[in-house]
Amino acid sequence: MTVRPELTAVALLLAAAPALAQPPADPGAPPEPTLPSAPPPTEAPPPLAAPAGRVLSLAEALATARARQPTLRQARAATQVAEARADEARAPLLPQLQGSGQYQRTTANVVPRPGIAALQAPAGGSWSTVNYWIYGATASMLVYDFGQTWEKWDAAKASARSQRSTEIATVVQTDLSVRSVYFLARAARDLAPWLGAPAG
C-alpha cells in the first residue's frame, strides 16, 4: 500500500502540536510543583488519618469564639456600661423620693427640736430612758433646667448606640477570622493525603 506524502506530513504536525503549543522551558528555573494525578475511578482515595481529638464544626467554632473571645467579652461589657450610664443620666428626670430615719436612746425629758412640735414636759426630771424614733420623707421632681438634663440623657443614649455598633463590628470581625482559619485548616486537612504531608 502506498502512503501519500501529504497525509504523512499532516500526521506529523498533529503529533507535534501539543509540544509546539507549550512555551520553551527555562533550564535555570526550578520545576513547578504539581499535584499527583487523581486515582482511577475504581480505586478509592487513601483513607484519612484518625484525628487526635474531636473535630469541631463551623457552628461550634463560632459559638466558642463568641462565648470566650476576650475582645468580644470586653466589647460586650463596654456596651453594658454605656447602657447603664444612659439609665443613670435619665434618673434626674424621674420623681425623686428620699426617706430618712433616726434612732436614739434618750431620757423622757422633753428637749425642743427644730421641725418637731414641742410636747408637754412632765413635771420634774426623769432619768429613765426610752426609745426615740424620727422618720422623714422628701419628694421632689425636676420641672425645668433649660434642657440640660435632657441633652445629657440624649448624649448618653447616643454613646450607648455607638458602643453597641462597635460590639456588632467586633462580632463580625471575629466571625470572619474564625471562618477564615476554619476553612484554611479544613483545606489543609483535605489536601494532606494528596500531598503526602501529615494531616493537621
**pLDDT tens digits, residue range 114-154?**
666 555 555 566 778 888 888 899 999 999 999 999 999 99
Instruction: Express as a percent the part of the chain with pLDDT over 70.
Output: 62
Query: Which is it for the CA torsion 23, 25, 31, 37, positive or negative?
Result: positive
Q: Which residues contact 174 (CB under 8 A, 6 or more apart)?
A: 65, 66, 69, 71, 72
What grid cell was written down for 155?
A: 448624649
Between 21 and 24, the higher pLDDT residue: 24
Note whether 149 and 92 are within 8 A (CB): yes
Identify the pLDDT of residue 70. 93
To which H or E segment does residue 132 belong?
A: strand 129-140
* Residue pair 119/109 in contact by the 8 Å Cβ criterion: no
What does the pLDDT read at residue 5? Answer: 46
Per-residue pLDDT averaged across 54-70, rounded? Answer: 88
* C-alpha Rg value of the chain to the nearest Å: 43
pLDDT of residue 21: 38
Spatial contact of 63 and 173, defined as CB atoms under 8 Å apart: no
Amino acid at 144: Y
Confidence of residue 36 (pLDDT cuts 50, 70, 90): very low
pTM of model > 0.95:
no
Q: Return the pLDDT at 83.
A: 95
**CA dist., res. 36 & res. 195, Å (int):** 8
